[in-house]
Structure 1
Amino acid sequence: MPLPEPMSFPLSTYEPLALVKVHTHDATPISAHRLLHALFGIPPAEYRLLLLLMQGHHVKECAQQLGVSQETTRTQLKSLFRRTQTSRQSQLIDLVRKLTYGHMD
């Protein structure tokens, strides 16, 4: 079954949610990027930033590694917060770890 369109409703207005992945033993696992894109609409550039944040890099380091300005990185981070209904990096990272079981690709 395909994943749903990116979530367009605020998480805070609903009861707690659970993500259940059911697949056959021979099914190809869904990538973390595809899952996060399906749930939150996270585009590739923001996903690359998220990968670096998950590795413990600071925003300045992320900007340098991605070859973009710190302002671009801050803008992308704000977009990640908005998409995931989080407000701090620690909340964002905790949410992503829970959804991906810590397996980022």
Structure 2
Amino acid sequence: MEDLFISVIITAYNRKEFLLDAVKSALNQTLSKEKYEIIVIKNYNDDNIDEFLNKNNIKNIIMDGTIGEYLYKGINESKGDIISFLDDDDLFFNNKLEYVYNLFKKIII
């Protein structure tokens, strides 16, 4: 069976103060970085945040729209077999993606 790939979609609307913590929680996973990507969709430019995203090879999409449009754009830009959503004011436990990955490996035959 081919390996699964996860796309993490993080949306942010006008909340710069929380976004980097959310992104770092997605970066600091026990799952190998080759098995997932991170996509950030936000409605603002911020030099520090944009530089951090760039440095960590995170897809950074800047657009105006509703949360539904953000999610639609993220899904369309994703490469994952599995989509995981993370709000900008939330955090992942460091084993979240590995847990999800292993669950899907068990159920996909």
| TM-score, normalising length: structure 2 | 0.26
- Higher strand proportion: 2
Larger RCO (CA under 8 A, 6+ residues apart)? 2
| TM-score, normalising length: structure 1 | 0.27
